[in-house]
Amino acid sequence: MVLLSVHGLSPAQIAELLECDASTVRRWIGRFSHHGVAGLADRPRSGRPRIGGPRLLARITALLEQAGPWTVPKLWQYLGRPKLSPPTLYRRLRIVAIWRRPELVARGDPDRWRVVAGIAARLRE
């Protein structure tokens, strides 16, 4: 936005190019004019700070490098029962790992063992 403004485009033209509101463009240009490049950084947000920072992510990564069938409750236990809910732990887990459930196969399916063998092969990879 700021560079487009320096090149002579009006806030309305910039807003049209970037598909946003002209007041947003003016706000960012004003922040840059008043504070320089430092004004473009994110400002502190209201509300409770995020639970589980980089240290927790590093610990989760280290645990997942160990072999084993990991579940969210097991991870929570191995992490020393941190003060965060299972959904929050799951969201932090999704940052460092892809968590997929194995395909569910009905017991009466005639191709059940072929599907189970295929799933087992993928899990071994």
* Dihedral (CA of 73, 75, 76, 77) sign: positive
The CA R_g of the chain, rounded to the nearest whole Å, is 24
Q: Where are the domains of the chain?
A: 2-40, 52-125
Q: Could you tell me the pTM of the whole model?
A: 0.44
Please state the separation of Cα 119 from the chain's center in Å. 27
Q: Which residues contact 92 (CB under 8 A, 6 or more apart)?
A: 52, 56, 57, 60, 84
Q: What is the pLDDT of residue 105?
A: 54
φ, ψ dihedrals at 79, nearest 5°: -80, 0
pLDDT at 106 over 70: no
Question: What span, in angstroms and rounded, lies between the C-alpha atoms of 84 and 24?
Answer: 35
Q: Dump the DSSP string for 43-84.
A: PPPSSSPPSS-HHHHHHHHHHHHS-S---HHHHHHHTT--SS
- pLDDT band at residue 11, thresholds of 50, 70 and 90? very high
Of 41-50, 59-68, 115-124, least confident by mean pLDDT is 115-124
The pLDDT tens digits for 17-59 are 888 999 999 999 999 999 998 888 888 888 887 777 788 888 8
Question: What span, in angstroms and rounded, lies between the C-alpha atoms of 79 and 68?
Answer: 15
Mean pLDDT across the chain, nearest whole number? 82
Q: What is the pLDDT of residue 96?
A: 80
